[in-house]
Amino acid sequence: MSDSSANMNRSRLVDLSLKIYIILGFAFVFAPIAASFVFSFNSDRFPSIPLGHFSLEWYEAVASDPFAWQGLRNTLFVGVIVGIVSTGLGFGAAYTDFRYRFFGKQIYLALALLPPTIPVVILGLAMLAYLSRINLSGNSLSVIIAHVVICAPFAMAIIRLRLSQMDPDLEAAAWNLGASEWAAMRHVIIPFTKPAILGALFITMAVSFDEFAIAWFVSGLNETLPVKVLGFLQGQVSPRINAIGTFVFVTSMTLVILAQILLTGRSAKVRPVADEQE
């Protein structure tokens, strides 16, 4: 009896410690973001305590700035194209891993998932050197190419994880019933991976929307919104940065939450069905 009570006390202590640790971790990560959010509505020019009165002055300043709008248009254009292309490439790479067995497959996977592990400064310099040699540096296309390189592995990882939950015999059964490879892809593979495809689309858009270092190297005059923020920092600290940062954070979090809902929601529906079959 004493041993069981000791185990219960230990479990409660461990649970409490883990909860405190998680809360402190989230507080450490989100405290600067929360401060930026609060100061974006502060009437004072410099972030200080006590706060001034509530004001939308800095949001109005951003809304009336043509350079901010240009950066936003470039960011949205690049983000949408990068999301679509990266998701398509990621799906192809993930399906190749799922469907085929070939010599050097582990090397193929290692190379396909390599770009996010490379430091962004090194990758940015490499992309700048390569794109300059083929006369593509300094325009929106160069940013799209560079972002696809770094975003496609994220899409591949998400879709590959979804395909790993699929019974490989489903596709073979479709073939046995007379479906062509394209019909099996359209009616079996794509419906099963649809949540992961949409999740990968939103995640890659969020990564492209937030990315700064590589875009700074290759964008030239076609700067994305994160690169524009650096321009606001040069010379003086502008409170508009807090407003832009809040907008970028809310947009990125919205995309990530949508991806999470799609991925976890689909898994929650599949799990009860599997339990019933057992």
Peptide bond into 50 cis (omega under 30): yes
pLDDT value at 262 more than 80: no
H or E element at residue 241: helix 240-277
Beta bridge partners of 54: 42
What's the Cα-to-Cα distance from 261 to each of 186, 218, 248, 257, 264, rounded to whole Å? 23, 33, 20, 6, 5
pLDDT of residue 96 exceeding 60, the answer is yes
CATH number assigned to the domain with residue range 66-277, chosen from the 4 options 1.10.1200.10, 1.10.540.10, 1.10.10.60, 1.10.3720.10 = 1.10.3720.10
In this predicted structure, the answer to whether residue 74 has a pLDDT above a threshold of 90 is: no
Place of tokens 């800095």: 58
Instruction: Report the alpha-carbon distance of residue 252 to residue 203 in Å, rounded.
Output: 9
To which H or E segment does residue 79 belong? Answer: helix 66-99
Mean pLDDT of 200-221: 85
pLDDT for residue 81: 93
Interval 133-182: pLDDT, tens: 888 777 788 889 989 999 999 999 999 888 888 887 787 788 888 778 88
Q: Tell me, what's the pLDDT at 82?
A: 92
Helices (H), 104-189: 105-112, 120-133, 140-163, 169-176, 181-184
In whole angstroms, give the CA distance from residue 94 to residue 109. 9
Calculate Rg over the CA atoms of the chain.
24
What pTM value is reported for the model? 0.76
Residue 248: closest CA among 199, 198, 201, 205? 205
Question: pLDDT tens digits for 44-65?
Answer: 666 667 766 677 777 877 777 7
Q: Where are the domains of the chain?
A: 66-277
